[in-house]
Structure 1
Amino acid sequence: MTEDFDVSSDWHVAAPYEFLRGLREHSPVFRSEHLGAYVLTRYADVRAAYGDPGRFSSAGSLTISRSLTDRTREKLGEHGSFLGSFVANVDPPDHTRLRRSVSRAFTPRAVAAMEDTFRRLNEELLDRLDPRGEADFVTEIGHEPSVKLTARFIGVPEQDEAFVQAHVKDWFQLFLSPQPPERQLELADSFLTYLDYVDRLVAARAKDPQDDFTSLMTALIGAELSHREVVELISTILLGGNDTVPNQLGNTVLRLLREGVWPVPPGLVANASEECMRIDGASLGSFRYAATDIDLHGVTIPAGALVLLSTDSAAHDESVFPDPGTFRIDRPNAAEHLVFGYGIHFCVGAALGRLQLRTALEVLGHRLPGLRLVPGGPIAYRKSIVGRGLPSLLVEW
């Protein structure tokens, strides 16, 4: 069995399952020197930890930037602890206040209203690409509709979409992917430029409100939210729409094509989406801090220790998902995965993410029923601590 996690190795994201199975069986509470964290690997433990913010604290948990050099930290200054007040990075009572504010924009009616827009964005994209007969799914198909939908939701002008997407990618690399010292400095510059952009967007909406999320949140500054909290909320939702959701779609299409179930029968699209999130989740887990000494399976996690809740391992726990390495399009409990978290920190955008995945599969299946992988095309995942995504996926039809 591999001795430890290794973010720099291809297997860490692409094929960690035998390693994780060994941990679940022999070391369910694993001290990873490489991650500098204790790792919970069994479904029951991961779910229980999500549901116990009193012991597994979210405060500061997203700011996992131990790999940053002193020079990079100095350049970032106060923003080295970026996400310090984001809703997923705090405990109650701040969490309760922040989530209440954000939830106003994610009502079931508001989410449902976005379906037609997202479907149209996918159709318009395929109108342009269909005659070509080939594309890089990740860079040319998977990202654009989600990027555009998120931009419209937030209030990012169309001419700024490419700018935001590029800087969000740099943000992800800086904080959630190992980088050499000089590259860190470049990414830090990009990140500060991005924060300045969002800051100016908030200021513009304060003067001239529009029908968008930024205006809705800006109106709450002073009463419910701080200026910094609004900037961080907007920045992080842009990360989800520009990165996490498109990554999940890429992982999903790769899985469906490899399994030979394309196009997905209409009645199975929803469950197929859940099974793909379970078996190839775009999120690998969440970090927490132990708020007190925690005794679990004969191991004491000391107060203050960093803890990784491995949703990737939980999704392959044999006690919950029989034969977990096998894709089953009709798996009855596929939706019990923990990709969106659980408890008070269940992802506020989960309904929108699920809607996007289902809608994209419906449109793509209808428009490109002959979609297939380009023979011999390279398939490799980007290196990351907590995310699974493909930089490229060559397809033809």
Structure 2
Amino acid sequence: MTVTGQADHSGAESDFNPMVNPHQEDPHPFYRRARTRSVMFSPSVDAYLVCRYTDVHAVLDDPETFSARLAFPFIYDNPPEVVAELRAGGVPEQRRLVDEDSPRHRQIRALIDVGFSAQRIRSLMPVVWRRAEELVDRFTGGTADLVAEYAGPYVQGIINAVIGFPVEAAERVETSTLDSFTLSNPAAPVEAKIDAARRLGEFTRYLQALVDARRAAPRDDLISVLVHGADGIPGLAQDGAVHGIIRGTRIAGFPTTRDAITATTLLALQNPAVHEGILREPTQTIIKATEEALRRNPPNRGVFRVTTREVELGGTRLPQGARVLVLFDSANRDDTVFPDADAVVLGRPNVHDHVSFGRGLHACPGAPVARAEIQVALRTLFGRLPGLRLADGFEPTYRAIHLVRGLESLRVQW
């Protein structure tokens, strides 16, 4: 193995912290510098940063060397007082799909693919269209926050329906998602984690009641598929495994799609040619705008992996057990792959080469339904409100969440 360098540990210039500025609001100046250098170690995320497109591909295409299962901490790796609350609540310690390696990944992925099949997506489309129309109907006063009043409740209703959560449980389910984020965030205060663990115990009991109900009487939802199996694929034998996959699917399917909708809408409102194209030729323009927004601002910043052996990456030798952070939003603006990468270019010939939905073994199973949700949301929004524009004085700001980058709000008027 030829090695041309060691990992860069040069301090502040290589440190990356998405929870604080300037990286929280705009990480791209840092990414541009990072792509000119070798793999760098960031103390704030305790990982080597993988920023170049070719290096991101190298990691995602080699799951045997770059393990998902070893990369994410167990929620039971939290401080003892947090673990005590988790145990008291009976919260199962189970992996999500994104945390699994083969061969276990294969069975779970096959079941989730059934839950997100093309047939299932087609059957959901009336619900998707109806939900978008209902939310626009609620707008009053000529102004709205499209995060809180449109994209959030829109995606929440759809992913909950796919999983099998009843409409009246929306607030409870959303709280559980936020609690899961808190428990996996190394920077969250211990007191907040204790409260999150306590609530997650209550949610565990609620979810178990749904699992028991589906075991007795299956429905057309993901919980039933996971419990009973489908298409010759056996269901999951342990209820705890069902809990882990459901929690992970809700985490993966809600904030990312919500933030992709608002990112695409912001792109259209900040670029008059895109807005005009949507009004003139909505179907094709929205499809192109969706992909360009996903490339420029992927809602999922990236994923962690851990090396299972010593390996060379981007000319740098990494030891066995090294933690790496694969940064999708950096790879998607690599000028060696996407010329003029910071610009908005509709109809890029290689736009679908972006890695916003991952790649290979862990490519997002919900990508087709996410694209459908984004396109329906924009078609409805701009169709109903052709005069839509950003609210006077609005400046985009972004949430401080570990691996999810989304707008705090998107205030508009018409």
TM-score normalised by L of structure 2? 0.89
- Residues 320-350 of structure 1 show CA distances to partners (whole Å, capped at 9, x for unaligned) of 1111111112222222111111001111111
Q: Which moved more, 1:220-229 or 1:31-40?
A: 220-229
1:378: Cα distance to partner?
5.0
Quick one: structure 1 residues 8 and 223, their matched pair in 2 at CA, closer, same or farther if it must change by over 3 Å?
A: closer
- Residues 373-393 of structure 1 show CA distances to partners (whole Å, capped at 9, x for unaligned) of 112235321112211112222
Give yes or no for contact 2:82–2:197 (8 Å, CA) kept in 1. yes
Cα distance in 2, alignment partners of residues 302 and 171 from structure 1: 30
1:64: Cα distance to partner?
7.1
Residue in 1 that maps onto 2:248: 236
Quick one: structure 1 residues 20 and 223, their matched pair in 2 at CA, closer, same or farther if it must change by over 3 Å?
A: same
Quick one: structure 1 residues 81 and 165, their matched pair in 2 at CA, closer, same or farther if it must change by over 3 Å?
A: closer
Residue in 2 that maps onto 1:373: 390
SS in 2 for 1:364: helix
Give the letter aligned to residue 157 of structure 1: P
Give yes or no for contact 2:14–2:34 (8 Å, CA) kept in 1. no
Q: Which moved more, 1:103-112 or 1:213-222?
A: 213-222
Quick one: structure 1 residues 169 and 349, their matched pair in 2 at CA, closer, same or farther if it must change by over 3 Å?
A: same
Residue in 1 that maps onto 2:290: 273
Residue in 1 that maps onto 2:116: 106
Quick one: structure 1 residues 385 and 196, their matched pair in 2 at CA, closer, same or farther if it must change by over 3 Å?
A: same
1:224: Cα distance to partner?
3.9
Give yes or no for contact 2:61–2:359 (8 Å, CA) kept in 1. yes
Aligned partner (choices 189, 203, 217) of residue 208 of structure 1: 217
Give the letter aligned to residue 245 of structure 1: T
Cα distance in 1, alignment partners of residues 253 and 313 from structure 2: 36
Give yes or no for contact 1:284–1:312 (8 Å, CA) kept in 2. yes
Q: Once superposed, what is the RMSD of the aligned Cα atoms?
A: 2.4
Quick one: structure 1 residues 72 and 383, their matched pair in 2 at CA, closer, same or farther if it must change by over 3 Å?
A: same
Corresponding position: 1:156 with 2:156 = no
User: What fraction of aligned residue pairs are identical, expressed as a percent?
Assistant: 31
Give the letter aligned to residue 230 of structure 1: V
Residue in 1 that maps onto 2:275: 262
SS in 2 for 1:54: coil
Residue in 1 that maps onto 2:96: 86
Q: Identify unmatched segments of 5+ residues in structure 2.
A: 1-11
Cα distance in 2, alignment partners of residues 80 and 312 from structure 1: 37
Quick one: structure 1 residues 305 and 86, their matched pair in 2 at CA, closer, same or farther if it must change by over 3 Å?
A: same
Give yes or no for contact 1:73–1:80 (8 Å, CA) kept in 2. no
- Residues 3-53 of structure 1 show CA distances to partners (whole Å, capped at 9, x for unaligned) of 4102331322321111111111122x1111111111111111101211111
1:223: Cα distance to partner?
4.2
**What does residue range 39-78 of structure 1 map to in structure 2 within 5 Å?**
39-63=49-73, 68-77=78-87
Cα distance in 2, alignment partners of residues 190 and 329 from structure 1: 44
Aligned partner (choices 6, 17, 21) of residue 28 of structure 2: 17
Residue in 1 that maps onto 2:371: 354
Quick one: structure 1 residues 48 and 390, their matched pair in 2 at CA, closer, same or farther if it must change by over 3 Å?
A: same
Residue in 1 that maps onto 2:345: 328
Give yes or no for contact 2:49–2:326 (8 Å, CA) kept in 1. yes
1:128: Cα distance to partner?
2.1
- Residues 135-181 of structure 1 show CA distances to partners (whole Å, capped at 9, x for unaligned) of 11111111112111122222211111122122212322332473222
Residue in 2 that maps onto 1:363: 380
Q: Which moved more, 1:201-210 or 1:77-86?
A: 77-86
Residue in 1 that maps onto 2:192: 183
SS in 2 for 1:395: strand
Give yes or no for contact 1:59–1:89 (8 Å, CA) kept in 2. yes
Residue in 2 that maps onto 1:199: 208
**What does residue range 158-173 of structure 1 map to in structure 2 within 5 Å?**
158-173=167-182
Cα distance in 2, alignment partners of residues 192 and 273 from structure 1: 38
Residue in 2 that maps onto 1:35: 45
1:67: Cα distance to partner?
9.3
Cα distance in 2, alignment partners of residues 113 and 104 from structure 1: 13
Residue in 2 that maps onto 1:4: 15
Give yes or no for contact 2:111–2:225 (8 Å, CA) kept in 1. no
Residue in 1 that maps onto 2:258: 246
**What does residue range 209-228 of structure 1 map to in structure 2 within 5 Å?**
209-220=218-229, 223-225=234-236, 226-228=238-240
SS in 1 for 2:23: helix
Cα distance in 2, alignment partners of residues 294 and 44 from structure 1: 15
1:83: Cα distance to partner?
7.0
How many residues are matched?
395
Corresponding position: 1:395 with 2:412 = yes
Q: Identify unmatched segments of 5+ residues in structure 1.
A: none
Corresponding position: 1:117 with 2:130 = no
Q: Which moved more, 1:136-145 or 1:298-307?
A: 298-307
SS in 2 for 1:113: helix
Q: Which moved more, 1:101-110 or 1:75-84?
A: 75-84
Give the letter aligned to residue 190 of structure 1: R
SS in 2 for 1:49: helix
Give yes or no for contact 2:96–2:244 (8 Å, CA) kept in 1. yes
Q: Which moved more, 1:287-296 or 1:205-214?
A: 205-214
SS in 2 for 1:322: coil
Quick one: structure 1 residues 139 and 177, their matched pair in 2 at CA, closer, same or farther if it must change by over 3 Å?
A: farther
Quick one: structure 1 residues 301 and 79, their matched pair in 2 at CA, closer, same or farther if it must change by over 3 Å?
A: farther
